[in-house]
Amino acid sequence: VVNSAYAGGGMMFSPEAEVDDGLLDVVTACDLNRAQVLRELTRIHSGGHLANPRVSVRRGRRVRIENLSPADALGIEADGAVRGHTPVALQTLPGALRVIC
């Protein structure tokens, strides 16, 4: 889940994401084996991973990520640190951050 085109040291998870559109971009990759995951990770800095039909982007103002069982819980990271675990609900707060240039 990202709110801008770039995250994590220049990785372009969702090239069309915009910080001021009020939407969260959810990037998913389904049914990839380890070799395919590694390949897509090498392409993520250019946004090339999105050419794979198994990688998709969905957008929304609210996002809920759940796991099938407690044993499947995923770590939720922000700025490189684990901040919690799934399930998690996220939403945008338009106008909550004032940016001065």
Q: Where are the domains of the chain?
A: 24-91
> Bigger pLDDT: 91 or 100?
91
Nearest Cα residue to 64 out of 92, 86, 31 = 86
pLDDT of residue 78: 85
pTM metric for this prediction: 0.83
How far is 101 from 98, CA to CA, in rounded Å? 10
> Bigger pLDDT: 99 or 86?
86
pLDDT of residue 8: 81
How far is 54 from 74, CA to CA, in rounded Å? 20
Structure tokens at 31: 């049914």
Hey, which residues does 75 pair with through a beta bridge? 85
Q: What is the DSSP string of 50-66?
A: GGSTTEEEEEESEEEE-
pLDDT digits (tens, 9 = 90+) for 64-92: 999 989 889 999 988 889 999 999 999 99
Mean pLDDT of 16-36: 94
